[in-house]
Amino acid sequence: MSDTKKDWGWYIGKSDEVYTSGPETYENAVQIARDEYGGAYICEAYKAPKQLSSMFDVHDWLERCEDQVWDECVGENGDALFHMKKEKRQSLQATVRAAIDEWQFQNGLTFMPFMFTECRNHEYIDAPEEGE
């Protein structure tokens, strides 16, 4: 994520575990926390879209392939069928992830997680005092 600009924004919540999207500025977040929530937590955070390719793990996939082969047609000598050097596994993982990224891009798919990617500037804003 270091090559792209992080889209920081302010979020407001009644607890410090669940936030809703909020205003674009700190001042607006404070005002809403006081006026609309009667006191609330605020934080500055951003969410980065999740690449589907990050979910592909070549080691896990090869283990599933091995299990399937054992179930369908056990090898003659019982040796692992898909054994390969680390470099080859890394190459396979990079190739498959690149193909998944390209497919995701061509299909215009964006997967936005519920959780923040990163957050900072946590603060509790008290309710306004009487007469404020």
Residues 14-30: pLDDT tens digits? 988 888 877 779 999 99
Q: Is residue 76 part of a domain?
A: yes
Instruction: Please tell me whether residues 56 and 92 are part of one structural domain.
Output: yes
Comparing 19-23, 31-35, 66-70, 101-105, the range with the smallest average pLDDT is 19-23
How many domains in the chain?
Answer: 2
Residues 6+ apart with CB under 8 A from 131: none
pTM of the model: 0.64
Query: CA-based Rg of the chain, rounded to a whole angstrom?
Result: 24
**DSSP letters of 55-113?**
G--HHHHHHHHHHHHHHH---SS---SS---HHHHHHHHHHHHHHHHHHHHHTT--B--
Return d(Cα 23, Cα 11) in angstroms, integer. Answer: 7
Nearest 5°: phi and psi at 123? -160, 145
Return d(Cα 117, Cα 20) in angstroms, integer. Answer: 15
Q: Is residue 131 part of a domain?
A: no
DSSP character for 44?
Answer: E
Q: Is residue 4 part of a domain?
A: no
Our measurement of the distance from residue 92's CA atom to the centroid of its chain's CA atoms, rounded to an integer in Å, reads 23
Instruction: Please tell me whether residues 65 and 83 are part of one structural domain.
Output: yes
Instruction: Please tell me whether residues 98 and 56 are part of one structural domain.
Output: yes
Confidence of residue 71 (pLDDT cuts 50, 70, 90): confident
Q: Which helix (H) or strand (E) holds 13?
A: strand 9-13
Instruction: Please tell me whether residues 83 and 39 are part of one structural domain.
Output: no
Instruction: Please tell me whether residues 99 and 60 are part of one structural domain.
Output: yes
Tell me the residue range of the domain where 121 lies.
9-48+113-125
Instruction: Please tell me whether residues 56 and 98 are part of one structural domain.
Output: yes
The model's pLDDT over 28-62, given as tens digits with 9 standing for 90+, comes to 999 999 999 999 999 999 989 999 999 999 999 99
Instruction: Please tell me whether residues 65 and 84 are part of one structural domain.
Output: yes
Q: Is residue 66 part of a domain?
A: yes
Q: In the prediction, which pLDDT does 75 show?
A: 58
Instruction: Please tell me whether residues 101 and 67 are part of one structural domain.
Output: yes
Confidence of residue 5 (pLDDT cuts 50, 70, 90): confident
pLDDT (average), residues 94-99 = 97
Instruction: Please tell me whether residues 76 and 35 are part of one structural domain.
Output: no
Instruction: Please tell me whether residues 121 and 82 are part of one structural domain.
Output: no
Return d(Cα 121, Cα 33) in angstroms, integer. Answer: 15
Instruction: Please tell me whether residues 56 and 101 are part of one structural domain.
Output: yes
Q: Two tokens at 101?
A: 């990224």
